[in-house]
């Protein structure tokens, strides 16, 4: 489909946002969910370049996604967002040394098959 690259741009921006946010929070570190932490953690997040980059990617991805939805059926476009799961699982493995077990790989393959069927319909 002619709009597939635009859809993938939105998906990749969304995936990049998650990766930037993850790195930003890695740098901020673990914190307890408590009211007395809300303002200090919010200030740290607001000043963290990775968090800001993640939020910027989200804003841009929303703009791209609005263009997509003005041109493509939502029943076609929305399932393609699941490609972001694949991108983030692989990137998480390489960038953050996250677990990529056989069960996760199997799930990713199932997602790939589902995306294939959606794009061929």
For 78, the token pair is 């929305």
User: What is the pLDDT, as a whole number, of residue 1?
Assistant: 66
Domain ranges of the chain: 4-120
Model confidence pLDDT, tens digit, residues 14-44: 999 999 999 999 998 888 788 888 888 888 8
Out of 36-40, 75-79, 117-121, least confident range: 117-121
Q: Reduce the DSSP state of residue 90 to 3 states and report it.
A: helix
Model confidence pLDDT, tens digit, residues 86-110: 999 999 999 999 999 999 999 988 9
């Amino acid at each position: 489909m002619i709009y597939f690259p635009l859809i993938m741009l939105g998906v990749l921006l969304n995936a990049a946002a998650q990766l930037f946010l993850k790195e930003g929070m890695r740098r901020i570190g673990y914190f307890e969910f408590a009211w007395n932490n809300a303002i200090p953690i919010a200030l740290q997040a607001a000043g963290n370049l990775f968090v800001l980059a993640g939020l910027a990617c989200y804003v841009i991805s929303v703009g791209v996604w609005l263009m997509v939805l003005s041109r493509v059926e939502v029943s076609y476009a929305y399932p393609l967002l699941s490609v972001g799961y694949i991108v983030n699982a692989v990137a998480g493995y390489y960038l953050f040394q996250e677990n990529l077990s056989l069960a996760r790989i199997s799930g990713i393959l199932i997602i790939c098959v589902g995306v294939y069927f959606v794009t061929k319909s």
